[in-house]
Amino acid sequence: MLHAAAARREDAPMPNEDLDRYRRVAVALTRHGLTRIADLLGLDSGLLAEVRAKVQPGGVHSLGEDLASTLEELGPTYIKLGQLLSTREDLVPPEVAAALARLQDHTPPAPYEEIRRTIVAELGRPPEELFARFDEQPLACASIGQAHAARMKGGDEVVVKVRRPGAVAQVKADLRLMRHLVEEADRSSAKAHQLGLLPFVEQFSATTLDELDYRKEAANARRFADMYRDEPRIHIPRVHPRFSTGAVLTLDRVRGLRVDDIEGLDRHRVDRRRLARLAATTLVEMVVVHRFFHADPHPGNLFVQDDGSITLIDFGMVGRVTEGMAEQLDDLILAFVAGDAERLTDAVLEVAESSQSPDRQSLERSLGDLLDTVRSSSLARVEVSRVGRRMLALMRRHHLRLPGAFDLLAKLVFQAEGLGRRLDPDFSMIALFQPYAQQILERRLDPRHVARRAARAGVDAAWLGVEGPAMLRRLLKQIASDGMRVQVPVTELEPLVGRAERLGNRMVAGMLAAAVLQGMVPLVQGMPRLRRWTAPMLALGVVAGGALSGYLAVSSRPRRLED
């Protein structure tokens, strides 16, 4: 499917406005001795050859260092790309990921006068009039914006995040060029296609565009604050809406120790074992409980207070877990914790995207070997991130890859475990997941959950039974209009129509049976005297649904098509 999408643009020339940017990319790659990356991905062209003839190749460091320097030279969007790659060891080797990690904290600041002009344009007045104090030197710099300490006239200490001038236009142009290059690579390089570079760039583009608008980050911060309103161990900085726009965001200032400042934590006698469990549990519960999670929880975004509580910052990149994703995630967790290779294979194939049909038996054997490795080790020694990366690697060998939303989930789990083990060498992510697996199992067996799933399945099945014949007619009409002639005798269509009609009846019966189940559950739950009869009443509902289905099936008669 990805090849087909790229093929539609095979003859599309690169937009003229992107040619200069492409030249800059080619020059930077050549200057740092990374033209082999362009060759590997099939990105070579006449323009790249021209640049190679004029620019003296450099690159005297490791691949990771040269790549980090290249991305830093190319600007904010590429720095952001490096930040994401530093957490994706399924895409880059560990030594390269380690080198790219320095991009987290070493972005050069924009000149203060540019920052001041942005504040005037967004808030109507200069910072010296809006605030009692505004520090010209930034506290921190990121690829899209930078943060300045300030004091409100009422005395509150705040941090003012200001988007870099021109960042929106530059980032959009960079993303457009990235997509053009990656589409070329996906079409011409089997390795690029196997790595899933195109969906990776699509996911990166979506999250980066969201981060350009600070109003979205403000909304995310307010949602997290609401999530942890009653949790004294987790703090979210307050947003100041009158001093916040799409390009300026003002929040309460956060103080404390970075969560990875081991020496500082020890000096302040913070219980690192308890802190490790609190940090990891918080991140995991965002996914399995709240279904809304911080998608960039690197150590610079978590601060520890004197009492051992945690303050989270930087809510530009978030992820959401839909109902369907939650079901798929539950299946993965249950199968993994149970060590069931067959169920894990089913769960992986349900989640993964593929450009070709996978060999199920081979995949199940590979996953079984992986689970055997896990079973042969004690819980304390199993690293979920290492097992997860092995699973991602074998998925790639089977031409499978995770969709973008699950990439963010995997990143969060890997970072949570890495943080937990840094704080406490004995930390076990598997042990942390076990109670959630038990909760998932109990939820799956809850009659209300069973009834809801049955009702959803019944509605879907009924819709398919009712709409299926019409969809088939539209498809045949479309094929005919495109020049394909389909000649099928009416007598051969009769069995098909009859089967569709009977299938529709059975689907409607399923929906009605599900409705019966769903209606019985709250009745039983709301009447304590009837709770001991839950199982018999549910069984009665199933029998009634089966009888209804049987009646409809028997009463259905094949009908001849009218002329």
DSSP string, 362-387: HHHHHHHHHHHHHHTS-GGG--HHHH
State the burial class of residue 169 (Cβ atoms within 10 Å of its Cβ: 0-12, 13-18, 19+).
Answer: exposed
pTM for this prediction: 0.72
pLDDT exceeds 70 at position 16: no
pLDDT tens per residue across span 361-384: 999 999 999 999 888 877 667 888
- Write down the pLDDT at residue 539: 56
- The number of beta carbons lying within 10 Å of the beta carbon of residue 394 is 18
Q: What residue type is assigned to position 353 of the chain?
A: E
Q: What residue type is assigned to position 126 of the chain?
A: P
**Catalytic: 260?**
no
The structural domains of the chain, with segments of one domain joined by +, span 2-107+198-209, 258-445, 447-555
- Write down the pLDDT at residue 494: 52
CB 225 within 8 A of CB 208: no
- Write down the pLDDT at residue 517: 54
Q: Which two tokens stand for residue 13?
A: 């020339």
pLDDT tens per residue across span 302-341: 999 999 999 999 999 899 999 889 889 889 988 888 889 9
Mean per-residue pLDDT, 399-422: 86
Mean per-residue pLDDT, 174-190: 84
> If pLDDT is split at 50, 70 and 90, which confidence band does 535 have?
low
Q: What residue type is assigned to position 149 of the chain?
A: A
- The number of beta carbons lying within 10 Å of the beta carbon of residue 529 is 7
Q: What does each C-alpha distance from 25 to 78, 79, 181, 229, 358 come to in angstroms?
A: 10, 13, 11, 46, 36
- Mark residue 32 as left, alpha or beta (left: phi above 0; alpha: psi -120 to 50; beta: remaining): alpha
- Write down the pLDDT at residue 561: 42
Query: CA quadruple 19, 21, 25, 30: dihedral positive or negative?
Result: positive
**Which residues are registered as beta bridge partners of 560?**
none
Q: What residue type is assigned to position 144 of the chain?
A: I
**Dist. CA 174–CA 184, nearest whole Å:** 15
Marked catalytic residue, from 66, 186, 296, 407? 296
**Which residues are registered as beta bridge partners of 304?**
257, 310
Nearest partner of 114 among 136, 81, 141, judged by Cα: 136
**Average pLDDT along the chain:** 80
Q: Which two tokens stand for residue 109?
A: 């600041």
**Dist. CA 451–CA 325, nearest whole Å:** 19
- The CA-based angle 278-284-290, given to 5 degrees, is 110
Who wins on pLDDT, 342 or 525? 342
**Dist. CA 563–CA 560, nearest whole Å:** 9
> If pLDDT is split at 50, 70 and 90, which confidence band does 457 have?
low
310-312 and 302-304 as β-strands: parallel, antiparallel, unpaired?
A: antiparallel
DSSP string, 180-221: HHHHHHHHH-HHHHHHTHHHHHHHHHHHHHHHT-HHHHHHHH
- Residue keyed to tokens 């199982």: 535
Q: Which two tokens stand for residue 518?
A: 């769903």
- Residue keyed to tokens 């469990």: 277
Q: Please give the backbone phi and psi of residue 422, each rounded to the nearest 5 degrees, phi first.
A: -70, -35
pLDDT exceeds 60 at position 422: yes
Which residues, 6 or more positions from 49, have their beta carbon under 8 angstroms from its beta carbon? none
Which run of H or E residues covers position 320? strand 318-320
Which run of H or E residues covers position 500? helix 490-526
pLDDT tens per residue across span 38-55: 665 555 566 666 666 667
Mean per-residue pLDDT, 184-196: 76
**Dist. CA 82–CA 273, nearest whole Å:** 31
DSSP string, 462-474: HHHHHHHHHHHHH
Which run of H or E residues covers position 415? helix 404-423
C-alpha 537 chain-centroid distance: 41
pLDDT exceeds 90 at position 293: yes
Best-predicted range by mean pLDDT (317-331, 440-454, 468-482, 548-562): 317-331
Nearest partner of 441 among 285, 541, 336, judged by Cα: 336
